[in-house]
Chains A and B, each alone.
Chain A
C-alpha cells in the first residue's frame, strides 16, 4: 500500500524477521522462545511448531506451561512428560494441499508436544545414573524432594536437561522450546551453572565431611573454625536438617560430575548455529524492557539470536483516518446532535431525507471514537517498538497481530502462524 510504504520511510524500521526461512532451513534444529511472563511465549512456540510441521518438518514442542487450554488447542487432553503426537488436519494437510499450505508440501511433517515435568525428569536422571538402592535412597531424602520439586532454578535446569535428551534422541529434526517464566529473565541461562556450582560447591563438601575436612588447606582460608561452623548451622537450621543434608549430599556425590558435564554440553549446544533464539515481547514498556535484557544477555553469552517476535500488535484497517481527524469528526457529529434541529437519536435508515434532518449517527460517533483510540494505541505501540529498534538496531522483528479472542484450536494457531509467512 502506498501510504504504508510512505510511513515506513519515515520510520526507523528494523529488518523483517523471516521466520519461514528459519523454519524451512534444515540446519535449524532448535528454536528457543524466551521472554517475560504473559507475553504469549507458549502460544508462539506452539504456532511455530505447527507451522514448521505443516511445512514438512518433524517437530517436537517442549513447553513448561501447564495450561490445559494449550493442550486442547492441539487436540490433546493434556500434556505430560512424554512427547505426544498432535493430530494435524485442515488446510495444507490433504493431498494437493489448500491455500497457502501448498507452499510447504503439507505431507511429511509431524508435530509432537510435551510438557516438562521437572520432578519426573529429575527422578529419571537419578534412576538412570545410580543403582536401584542408591536411587531409592536419594528419591526418599527430604532434601532431594525439596530440590527436585521447588529448587529455584530446577525447572530451568530440567528444561535444559530435557532439551539435551530430545536432541540426543534424534527423533525430531526441529525442537521448539518455550522457556520457564523465570523470576529473573535470564535464569534459564544461569540455571545449569548455578545448579552445578552448587552441587560442586565447597560448602557441600564441607557438609559431607565436616570432621575429616578440618585439617584441609581450603578451610584455613576461611577465618571461621569448623566448630563454629557446625555450631551455627546446627543452631540455625537444626541438627536433623543438617544430617539430612549430609546424607543427601553423600548419596548424590557420584552424580555431580555427570550433572555438570551435561549442563555444559547443553549450554554449548545452545551456542551452535543450529540453535535460534527468539525473544518474544508485547509492545508494552515492561515486556520490551525485559526483551532488551534478553537481547543483551544473549549476545553477552554468544547465543545465536534470530530476532524479536512482537506479539499482540494492534493495527487498523482504516489507518488513513488519523486519530485527530476521527475524534474531531465524532465531536462534530455530537455537536450537531446537541445543537441541531433534531436532537432525537433516531437511527437513520439511509436516504437523503433522513440525513437532512441532522440525526446524530450514534453508531458513527462510537465507531469514530473507537477508531481514534485504536490509532492512539497503534501509535504508542509503534513508538515503543521504535525505541527498542533504536537501542538494538539490526535485530530483525516479526509482528503478530492482536487476536480479538484467545486461541482455541489448531486453526487459531495457524492464524498466528500466518504472520510468519515470508513476504510475497
Chain B
C-alpha cells in the first residue's frame, strides 16, 4: 500500500464531538453531496436523528437516495446501520430554497403567510433573493441554523444537521453572511436575522469540512478555501476535516513505485508470470512478451498516478486539519456504497 496514511490517533470518541452543524463544501465533481450523505449516515448510526440538507436546488440528495424530488419539508430518506445491540438512527432530508425560506421566515416572525404568497406572485421574493445574494444566503444558512437549534419537548429535534453547501469558490461568502448583508442592510430585521444566524455558524457547534480528490486543482481549491476561512476565522469559523474522496488503492510497494517511474521494472518477470499462469498470447504482436510490455505500460501509468496522488496528499497536510480517506466506489453509488463510506468515516473518527 501507499504507506503515507494520514489516519490519526483518536484522542476521544470522534473528532467532532459537540459539533451539531456540519457544513460540507468542495470543488464541483469531488462528490460533495455523496460525502455529505455518508457523513449524515455515519452520524445517525449512533442513534438519533440527523438532517441532511441541500441548498442549491440540484436535487442531488434525491438522486443519491433514489427518491422522488424532495419538497421543502423534511422527509425520512434512510435508516442508518446500527451497531450490535443498538439500532441505527434516521436520516431526514430537506431541499431548502430561498423563496420557501423567506416565506417561512415571514410567517414565523411576522405572521405574514398570506403576504408572503402575494409577494411571491408580485415577484418580490424573486427580486429579493436574486438581486441580493447575501439575502439568499442568509435565508439558507438561517434555515440550517434554525434546524440546528430547533427543540421539541426540551430536546433538540435533530442531533446533527449536515449541510451540502455551495462549492469551495463560494463558501467564504456564503458563510460570511453578516458581512455580506451588512453592505446592504445596515439595520432592520434582515440585519438582525443575519446576526442571529452568525451566532450559530460561528460557534463551536459548527464545523466546515472540505471534500477533495487527489488532483491538483481540487487540492488547490481546498487549500485556498481553507486559507480564506482562516482569514475570516477572527469571527470564529471552525474549520473541520478534509475528506479525500474517491481514493484508488495503490497496488505497488514503494520500491516498485520508484522502479516503475525510473523504468527499472522487469517486463521479463511479467512475461514469465504470464507463461506460468498458462496465458499464451497468440493475437497481439510479440506474443507474451508484447502482452507483458503492455501490462508494464499500465503498471507504469498506475505508478505515475499513485506518485502524483501522493504528492497531492502531501500538499494537503500543509493545511494541518484532520484528513479522512474514502475509497473509490467504482460500481455506481447506491445505498450500499453510502453505507461503506459512512463506515469508513466512522472508522477514521469523523463521526
Q: CB within 8 Å of B: which residues of A?
A: 3, 36-39, 67-69, 142-143, 145-147, 150-153, 181, 183-184, 194, 198, 201-204, 206, 222-224, 228-229, 232-233, 235-241, 244-245, 285, 287, 316-318, 320-321, 325, 328-330, 332-333, 336, 347-348, 350, 354-355, 358, 361, 363-371, 374, 376-377, 380, 404-406
Q: Is the CB of A367 within 8 A of B270?
A: yes
9 additional contacts, CB 8 Å, given A203-B122, A241-B184?
A: A143-B131, A183-B58, A198-B127, A198-B131, A318-B284, A318-B291, A329-B273, A329-B279, A332-B276
B74 within 8 A of A: no
* Given A367-B298, A370-B298, A202-B186 contact (CB < 8 Å): no
Cα A333 to Cα B277 in complex, Å, equals 6
* Given A361-B273, A363-B270, A201-B189 contact (CB < 8 Å): no
Who on chain B is nearest to A182 by CB? B28
For B265, list chain A residues within 8 Å (CB): 363
Q: Is the CB of A146 within 8 A of B270?
A: no
Who on chain A is nearest to B129 by CB? A152
Partner of A320, one of B28, B30, B218, B281: B281
B29 within 8 A of A: yes
Cα A237 to Cα B30 in complex, Å, equals 37
**Segment 98-123 of B: residues with Cβ below 8 Å from A:** 106, 110, 112, 115, 118-119, 121-123
Cα A213 to Cα B308 in complex, Å, equals 64
- Residue pairs across A and B with Cβ atoms less than 8 A apart, 19 shown, are A38-B28, A194-B130, A222-B122, A228-B118, A236-B128, A237-B185, A241-B185, A285-B333, A321-B291, A329-B279, A348-B269, A361-B273, A364-B270, A364-B276, A364-B277, A364-B295, A367-B273, A370-B299, A376-B330
**Chain B interface main SS type:** helix
Binds A, one of B77-85, B132-140, B339-347: B132-140
Cα A369 to Cα B270 in complex, Å, equals 12
Q: Residues 141-170 of chain B: 1 if any A CB is under 8 Å from the residue's CB, otherwise 0?
A: 000000000000000000000000011000
* Nearest CB of chain A from residue B46's CB, rounded to whole Å: 30
Who on chain A is nearest to B186 by CB? A240
* Nearest CB of chain A from residue B213's CB, rounded to whole Å: 9
B13 within 8 A of A: no
For A354, list chain B residues within 8 Å (CB): 272
* Nearest CB of chain A from residue B108's CB, rounded to whole Å: 12
Q: Is the CB of A198 within 8 A of B130?
A: yes
Partner of A329, one of B29, B131, B274: B274
